Amino acid sequence: MIASRDTPDQGFSPCVSRRDPVPGPDGAPRRLHPPIAVLEYLGYIVAESEWPFEEALATPREGNGGGRAGDHGSRGPVRSRRRADLDRDGSRPIRLPRMKDIAAVVGVSQSTVSRVLNNKSVIPITAETRERVLAAAARLGYRPNPAARALRGARTMLIGAVVRDITDPFFAAAIEALCVVARDHGYNVVLGHAHGSAEEAMALATVLESRHCDAILLMGDMRDQPRLIEDLGNVQLPVVALWQGTRLPRIPSVDVDNRRAIWAGVDHLVELGHTRIAFVGGSRGHGDKRQREASFRARMRQLGLVVPEGYLRHVPNTPAGGGSALRALMELEPAPTAVIAATDVMAIGILHAAAEVGIGVPRDLSVIGFDDQPLAAYAVPPLTTLRMPTVPMVLAAFQMAIDAVEKGAARTVSRQVFQATLIERRSTAPPR
């Protein structure tokens, strides 16, 4: 759950989760207090636990002679839950656990807590004290402030991701893969959604740099805005781009081999006996889709097959776009017997539209997608597609970025290319 405590920066689209209102004592809806153990990052609060740390602060300190809860001797009582601590609606305001809170629970100085948590001390600290500090920090849900770490010159353990279109199911899966990879390496992800606009992505990149991310991943092609690419090449931290189609100037990238993938799709259909093959692509300005269309044209030409006028369709990358392309193709004479779509999203739209107009797949029309999104295997019929190695690609991009951060390596414009795999299901068959 993410709660926005302040007005978000322009360009960010934080996902806000709200709970159903609960009646208060007077019957009016009461604002529920969000989880307390949280990671705060400059105005955003990312919840991780439901455990209220103030309750721990009200417990007796070890060695205080068995005094009442909250009695901490010469240090004074730890602030307990008083009416003055509540908002006017009866809920508690969010307060993040701090080093001094840990010090109060354990009964040591704040400097001792700092030495333990930062694992840097020339002053000997006993194993028992260290264990108590770490245990209290875990109980309270303490997390270091990324901005403060950056000011000290330490890594913030934050990876920024600028995504061109978060509504695309492909990028949703890619973001999930990035979050898993980052977590496994001790990092958190700061996500910026560009809403399909390169201008907004440009602003996001500036925000992520100023907010002390250790590196930025650019997910999706923004090549239609040369200024963005130029700005990313100048930021003072590692930047790695994913799914650009071709090599970017001054920015390392991780891409799929679109040419070999599309060739494999065309060859599969030709081996089944198809010669009238159409291609449905998205925006001509996006690198991956543009490269897939060019590869389709090239392979058909190599095989001596004609691509009639109207067999290349450019539609939005949505199921509705795929459906409109299918209807236009079926009005041609002769109509194609097979279609390759640049994405699974459009391919599933083609399957849906074919069922609506009474075209049997694969009896009357064979269909191939690209990406192998989870829904592809559950389409009707299950979709033959070209599988994108999403997780290995995200891992490679993440590792390139982190290597530059941890090793202090100079930026090199390298490019890793992964191979897609043809997954044969039941949406392709020989033509009738």
Residue with tokens 């997780």: 391
Provide the residue type at 305 as one letter: L
Provide the residue type at 308 as one letter: P
pLDDT at 103: 87
The CA angle 14-20-22, to the nearest 5 degrees, is 130
Per-residue pLDDT of the chain in tens (432 residues, 90 and over written 9): 333 333 333 333 333 333 344 444 455 544 433 332 323 333 333 333 333 444 444 444 443 333 333 344 434 444 434 444 444 445 455 566 778 888 888 888 888 887 787 766 567 888 888 889 889 888 887 766 554 544 444 567 889 888 878 888 999 999 999 999 999 988 989 887 665 555 555 565 555 555 568 898 989 887 766 666 677 777 778 889 999 877 777 789 999 999 999 999 999 999 999 999 999 998 766 678 889 999 999 999 999 999 999 999 999 999 999 999 999 999 999 999 999 999 999 999 999 999 999 999 999 999 999 999 999 999 999 999 999 999 999 999 999 999 888 776 555 778 899 999 999 999 999 998
Cα–Cα nearest to 335, from 347, 325, 345: 325
pLDDT at 125: 85
Structure token pair of residue 250: 């001054």
Residue with tokens 């006993």: 126
Collapsing DSSP to helix, strand or coil, 167 comes out as coil
C-alpha dihedral, 219 to 401 to 199 to 228, nearest 10°: -120
Structure token pair of residue 267: 């060859």
Taking the C-alpha atoms of residue 382 and residue 374, their distance in angstroms, rounded to an integer, is 11
Phi, psi of 216 (to 5 degrees): -125, 135
* Whether 117 contacts 103, CB under 8 Å: no
**Bridge partners, 240 (sequence order):** 217
Q: What is the DSSP string of 332-349?
A: SSSPPSEEEESSHHHHHH
Taking the C-alpha atoms of residue 348 and residue 319, their distance in angstroms, rounded to an integer, is 6
pLDDT at 95: 61
* Whether 293 contacts 342, CB under 8 Å: yes
Neighbour count for residue 397 (Cβ, 10 Å): 28
Tell whether the torsion through CA atoms of 301, 305, 306 and 311 is positive or negative. negative
* Whether 402 contacts 185, CB under 8 Å: yes
Q: First vs last Cα of the chain: how many Å apart?
A: 53
Domains defined for the chain, CATH in brackets: 2-143 (1.10.260.40), 158-256+391-418 (3.40.50.2300), 258-387 (3.40.50.2300)
Taking the C-alpha atoms of residue 172 and residue 193, their distance in angstroms, rounded to an integer, is 11
pLDDT at 171: 92
User: Is the model's pTM score more than 0.75?
Assistant: no
* Whether 353 contacts 323, CB under 8 Å: yes
Give every CB contact of residue 154 below 8 A, 6+ residues apart in sequence: none
* Whether 331 contacts 394, CB under 8 Å: no
